[in-house]
Chain A
């Protein structure tokens, strides 16, 4: 009797799994990729290339810059931030 009930529950679980598949699929974020990078010969490098990323929100838009560095200390991060804020000077149009 117990075994019957447990197998019923297991069946219920498995069938609900399939049934609930009729739910919404994961929505992918729209990414508009333009201008792919010209390929660099970095395949031979055995050393790991790390990246430093920083973001800033300027005038409502969020700009995220990614730099690759071998030794990513504060220097890389600061450089990243400085570059972002420098871009405001580019307003001198």
Chain B
């Protein structure tokens, strides 16, 4: 009783009391009402109360400037009371009459289109069935349709503009960086959901502490009756000249709780090359080291040039590729992973390059013609052992062994006059051995120690013989590294940090001998370093300052010159990133300053043949290339409207570099590299927008890239020339997703390359790719693809039309028959024009001619 009196007194003293009586037209109290209290200026409902039996005595909890009281009840027209600056101690009383409202009675069915995706913290889960239209076969085909995910022509995948670390299967990392094995081969029918993960970490102990912003995809597979699934594809057919064409691609996947394995066997001679496992590895581990840091140079390259069309059109191959990947969860603490890959191939090619060099006021014409047979053999074995000693300690051992033996037999014709028989052999042995100890000190702090022992040895032989000349050259780069680093990472409420100290010992000997010239140089780099990075979070802004301190002790022992030089330097490299994150957009500004010491490709001083025409030598020095770089990035991703916008702009400037001094005549190009303090800069801008227009069932993508490089060189004893190279590329892609029988996609690309020095060379090329799909009925599907290339718009008569078709017959859920034909117009050669600051060249390559295949596919 006293409680109520006390309340009454306090309310009368301090708060505003609202007393409302609500009646209807007939004077009866309205049974059931809601009263809303709003601040008029922002129309926001701050509090509300329910009223039963028409009387309400309510004490306001908030303070209002302009109080708007709305009295609502179903079936009545709402009434509003406005009190301007309600006084604190006042009691306001009102008698309100509500008038009936005519309400529509209706029945409404909501065909709710459930969101095709779910957001769970850092992960977006895409429901595969909601994004597919039935035309997708492999995982890669569907990934192209997911917002925020970008798949390039080679199958490399980016999410939120960043390269993927890996693609996991049901949470397990079985592919490492060789994720294309999975995305290009696994049938999309096996996949239920695809998760796009931000802040991915491979090390479970570091989950929540490591904040590198790595991204990965996870494929959630459909739960079937069996642990095994796979796909067998076997095709036989005819190539031109009545040679047989064959294509066989089969994979077997086992997913169980203790074992996950993926095996692939591919045999083909129609140009489908599976070289992804020995592509450059992009991802870095916690200590920011990637495999590329341990690789040395392959001086003599196997390729003459790569035409800018799909490799399947010119890769005349005969390949066997086997890949066997296994992950064993031996027990709760121990897992073992092995990835074995083997590829052997025989590639035939006929290539011709006709070059016009503009030297002072003269034109120097050259011609190189190769008819070659390349036989690469590559084997790699990667092993990984992880042992979780306790919840806080993890030991990991990694070993990667990579063997290569590539032979190239070719007939070479120089300037259409002199012929040679060439034999190139490259052997490579690359071994990375790493041991890691991670100690999770607390829930937000961890220490990690890494030890690496690696070596990469690439001996290469180059033999070129004719009746007059005989070149017999041996050249070998070797790099062995011992690296230790110790890392402390942690995360607190407002900031996260990563500190690293370490030291490395690198030994890089180079040897070459070609009867006239001899090199025996060793480059040694002993360094110790520390790296500190802080990430400070303030509301929507993240500030990341980073300081790197390195002490290099460089040695160059040149046995020829009997010289030993040494230099010891201390290098300071700061960088700063500022990131502004909103719900759908991220803005990043980055600045960095780096200093690079000499790279091993410049350590040899005497002539080395790169091919029959080109000879290289260097004047090495211990100068550092200092670079300042400023970049801006904007990324917008709206999952609801399926719109992604990505804009990047970067400007980079260096104080100097190893400048190439060219001496060119009809027979030889001699290149001498030495360090010059001449500025070079590069500016590149990239804009990409991708949008799915629901109502028209159309997906549109537009991307535009502009790159401007300014670099110096010297040509035939000239002064230092300042050159500019600009590339401007625009691509527009449209893809339909109609429910009807016909769908099409079209991609148009325009590329303008401008090279400026004293003269200006411009080349515009255009290519268009059109594909139409026709769903004849439930069992039959057909598609026709038409690619047009115009390598030089000024010369429209030099155009190429490739026509391919495919007819698909679905016998049942497991068996598919396909009839396919490629290059129906039987084009035999492809010619393209390129230019640089002093020359223009026309490259011609032969093509895999027309072929027909009959393919049988079995899926289980």
In the complex, are the beta carbons of A20 and B551 less than 8 A apart?
no
Partner of A23, one of B488, B491, B499: B491
A87 at the interface (CB under 8 A from B): no
Shortest distance from the beta carbon of B570 to any chain A beta carbon, whole Å:
5
B281 at the interface (CB under 8 A from A): no
In the complex, are the beta carbons of A27 and B443 less than 8 A apart?
yes
B34 at the interface (CB under 8 A from A): no
CB neighbours of A9 from chain B (8 A): 499, 501, 530, 532, 549
Partner of A17, one of B488, B491, B549, B551: B488
A25 at the interface (CB under 8 A from B): yes
Q: How far is the CA of A10 from the CA of B529 in the complex (A)?
A: 12
Partner of A20, one of B492, B530, B549, B570: B492
Interface string of A1-43 (1 = CB under 8 A from B): 1100110011011001100111111110000000000000000
In the complex, are the beta carbons of A23 and B492 less than 8 A apart?
yes
In the complex, are the beta carbons of A5 and B549 less than 8 A apart?
yes
Chain A, 26-85, CB within 8 A of any chain B CB: 26-27
Q: How far is the CA of A12 from the CA of B498 in the complex (A)?
A: 12
Interface string of B417-447 (1 = CB under 8 A from A): 0000000000000000000000000111100
In the complex, are the beta carbons of B501 and A16 less than 8 A apart?
no
Chain B, 173-214, CB within 8 A of any chain A CB: none
**CB nearest to A26 among chain B residues:** B443
B490 at the interface (CB under 8 A from A): yes
B518 at the interface (CB under 8 A from A): no
Interface string of B760-791 (1 = CB under 8 A from A): 00000000000000000000000000000000
In the complex, are the beta carbons of A12 and B532 less than 8 A apart?
yes
In the complex, are the beta carbons of A23 and B497 less than 8 A apart?
no
CB neighbours of B488 from chain A (8 A): 13, 16-17
Shortest distance from the beta carbon of B545 to any chain A beta carbon, whole Å:
13
Q: How far is the CA of A27 from the CA of B532 in the complex (A)?
A: 29
Contact count band on A? 10 to 19
In the complex, are the beta carbons of A20 and B532 less than 8 A apart?
no
Q: How far is the CA of A23 from the CA of B489 in the complex (A)?
A: 13
Given contacts A2-B551, A23-B492, contact A13 B501 (CB under 8 A): yes
In the complex, are the beta carbons of A16 and B549 less than 8 A apart?
no
Interface string of B496-524 (1 = CB under 8 A from A): 01010100000000000000000000000
CB neighbours of B528 from chain A (8 A): 6
Shortest distance from the beta carbon of B388 to any chain A beta carbon, whole Å:
16
Q: How far is the CA of A6 from the CA of B570 in the complex (A)?
A: 11
Given contacts A2-B570, A9-B549, A10-B501, contact A23 B532 (CB under 8 A): no
Give the number of chain B interface residues (Cβ < 8 Å). 18
Partner of B443, one of A5, A12, A23: A23
Q: How far is the CA of A10 from the CA of B492 in the complex (A)?
A: 20
In the complex, are the beta carbons of B444 and A13 less than 8 A apart?
no
In the complex, are the beta carbons of A26 and B497 less than 8 A apart?
no
CB neighbours of A21 from chain B (8 A): 442, 445
**CB nearest to A6 among chain B residues:** B530
Interface string of B437-463 (1 = CB under 8 A from A): 000001111000000000000000000
In the complex, are the beta carbons of A23 and B549 less than 8 A apart?
no
Q: How far is the CA of A26 from the CA of B442 in the complex (A)?
A: 7
Partner of A12, one of B444, B491, B499: B499
In the complex, are the beta carbons of A20 and B501 less than 8 A apart?
no
Shortest distance from the beta carbon of A63 to any chain B beta carbon, whole Å:
18
**CB nearest to B528 among chain A residues:** A6
Interface string of B563-604 (1 = CB under 8 A from A): 000000010000000000000000000000000000000000
Chain B, 363-387, CB within 8 A of any chain A CB: none
CB neighbours of B551 from chain A (8 A): 2
Given contacts A2-B551, A23-B490, A23-B492, contact A16 B497 (CB under 8 A): yes
**CB nearest to A27 among chain B residues:** B443
Chain B, 529-572, CB within 8 A of any chain A CB: 530, 532, 549, 551, 570
Q: How far is the CA of A89 from the CA of B787 in the complex (A)?
A: 65
Q: How far is the CA of A6 from the CA of B530 in the complex (A)?
A: 8
CB neighbours of B444 from chain A (8 A): 20, 23-24
In the complex, are the beta carbons of B445 and A17 less than 8 A apart?
yes
Q: How far is the CA of A25 from the CA of B551 in the complex (A)?
A: 37
Q: How far is the CA of A10 from the CA of B502 in the complex (A)?
A: 12
CB neighbours of B570 from chain A (8 A): 1-2
Partner of A25, one of B443, B493, B501: B443
In the complex, are the beta carbons of A20 and B490 less than 8 A apart?
yes
In the complex, are the beta carbons of B549 and A6 less than 8 A apart?
yes
Shortest distance from the beta carbon of B359 to any chain A beta carbon, whole Å:
48
CB neighbours of B491 from chain A (8 A): 23
Q: How far is the CA of A12 from the CA of B493 in the complex (A)?
A: 19
In the complex, are the beta carbons of A16 and B442 less than 8 A apart?
no
Shortest distance from the beta carbon of A5 to any chain B beta carbon, whole Å:
6
Q: How far is the CA of A27 from the CA of B528 in the complex (A)?
A: 38
CB neighbours of B442 from chain A (8 A): 21, 23, 25-26
Shortest distance from the beta carbon of A18 to any chain B beta carbon, whole Å:
11
Partner of A13, one of B492, B493, B499: B499
Q: How far is the CA of A12 from the CA of B570 in the complex (A)?
A: 19
Q: How far is the CA of A24 from the CA of B494 in the complex (A)?
A: 12
Q: How far is the CA of A17 from the CA of B490 in the complex (A)?
A: 9
Binding site for B on A (CB under 8 A): 1-2, 5-6, 9-10, 12-13, 16-17, 20-27
The 8 sampled A-B contact pairs (Cβ below 8 Å) are A1-B570, A6-B501, A9-B549, A21-B442, A23-B443, A24-B443, A25-B442, A26-B442
Known: A6-B528, A23-B493. 8 other contacts (CB 8 A): A9-B499, A16-B488, A17-B445, A20-B444, A21-B442, A21-B445, A23-B445, A25-B442
The 8 closest A-B pairs by CB, nearest first: A23-B444, A26-B443, A9-B530, A20-B490, A13-B499, A23-B492, A2-B570, A20-B492
